[in-house]
Amino acid sequence: HLSDLQFNLEKLVQKGMTKLVENLFGIHMVEVEMSPYERWDIEHAGTDDESNHGGKNGDGVRKFEFHHDEEGPLGTMYLDLHPRRGKYVHAAHFTIRCGCKPRPQFSSENKKKQHQLPIVALVCNLASRSDDINTGGAILSHGEVETLLHEFGHALHSLLSRTSFQHLSGTRAPIDFVETPSHFMEHFAWEPQFLRLIAPSSMLLDEGILSTLVSTRYAFRGIDVRTQILYALFDQALFGTFYPHGQQQQQQNPSLYHSTQFFALLHQQHNVPYAEGTHWHTRFGHLVTYGAGYYGYLYSQVFALDIWKTRFAVATSDVVAGDDDKHDDVMSRREGTRLWKDMLIHGGGKDPNVMLRDVLGRAPNVDTFFDRA
C-alpha cells in the first residue's frame, strides 16, 4: 500500500541529493567532520561530549562542503533534520552567511578575486524512526522526501549564486520568484529515474508501486490550487487596503473585520472545506514572513513547472527556438548547467523575467501549469 511506503534518509542524502547535484551541475557534495564548537544541537556547546548529539548518520547536525572541479569551493551546508527539545518546529532554509564579492579592504592582495562563500542551514523536523529499510537509519514518508528536496532547492539557490552584494545573494530575490528553485526540486520526488536511486529494494522489485505513486501526484490538485489561492487572498486582505479598519467599518462588515470569520468566509466562497470552531490561520507562519506576498508561492509553481516540462521532463520536453537536441535524462548536465548559469548564479541580482526567458528560451507560459499531458 502507498500509505506504507517508506524511504531511507541516508539513501536519500548519499545516493539521491549527492547524485542530483553531481549529475545536474558537476558538483561534489561531501560530508565533513564538525568541530563540537560549531554545533548548535548539543546541550553544552563547546564540549567534546559525543553523547549530546547524534553525529554522522545519527540525529544530529551534519556538515557538507560543496566543490566544483572548475569553479572551486562553493560553500557549506548544514543539515539539521530531526526534532529535539527547543528546536524550530517547521522546515526551512536559513542563510548563516551570504555569498558576495569581498570588499578590497578586507581582502589580501592574493585573495582579491576570492568570493565570500555562503554558509546555509537546512532545517527540518523529520521523524527519527530507525526501522531497517534495507540499509538502516531514519525512514521517511514520501511527503518528507518532497519537503527535504524543497528546502534543498532553497539551499542550492544560496550556494550557487555569485553576486557582488550579499543582500542580493541566493534567496534574497523577489518574493514572487524566490520559491521557483525549491518548487523545481520537488519534481524529482515524483520522477521515476530519481526515485529508483532512493527507493527501498521492495519498491524497485515492484514497478507497479512506483508507477502508482507517480500517478497519484495530481489526484487532489484542484483543491490544492484552490486552497493556495484562498491563502493568498487572505494574506492580501490582511496586509492590503481591502481589510476594513475603524469602528464604523467593523460594525458594517463584522464578518470581514474578524479574521477567523473572514477566513471561514473565503473557504465558503471558494468551495474549500472549513472546520468550524477552528482558527488554523493563527499558526500559518507565512502570513508574517510573506506579508502580502504569499501569492508568490503559487506563482512560483507556475515558473518551476514550466522549467521542468520545457527543459527537464524527458517525455514532454519541448523543442524551443535554437534548441532542437532533446535529451533522455531528467538529471541532464546540459540543462542543469543552463539552470545554474542562467538563473541560480544571479540570486536576486537580475530581473526574474530575464532569467526565466534565458532558461526557457521564451517568455514563461502559464498554460504549462494546467497541461498535465
Catalytic machinery residues: 151
CA–CA distance, 272 with 269 (Å, rounded to integer):
8
Cite the DSSP H helix spans in 285-361: 286-289, 295-307, 333-342, 352-360
The H or E element containing residue 64 is strand 62-68
What is the torsion angle, in degrees rounded to the nearest 10, for the CA atoms of residue 183, residue 185, residue 187 and residue 193? 180
Category of 343 on φ-ψ map: left (φ > 0), alpha (ψ -120 to 50) or beta = alpha
- At 26, is the secondary structure helix, strand, or coil? coil
CA–CA distance, 293 with 122 (Å, rounded to integer):
23
Q: Tell me the CA distances in angstroms from 275 to 237, 259, 345, one per residue in order.
A: 21, 15, 44
CA–CA distance, 147 with 154 (Å, rounded to integer):
11
Residue type, 95: T
Alpha carbon of residue 281 to chain centroid = 22
Handedness of CA 322, 327, 333, 335 (dihedral sign): positive
DSSP for 147-212, written as a single string: HHHHHHHHHHHHHH---SSGGGSTT-S-TTTTTHHHHHHHGGGG-HHHHHHHS-HHHHH-HHHHHH
CA–CA distance, 214 with 134 (Å, rounded to integer):
22
Give 117's contacts (C-beta < 8 A, 6+ positions apart): 73, 74, 75, 76, 97, 99
Q: Tell me the CA distances in angstroms from 255 to 134, 226, 265, 340, one per residue in order.
A: 54, 21, 8, 47
Q: Which three cell numbers stand for residue 351?
A: 530581473
Residue type, 347: G
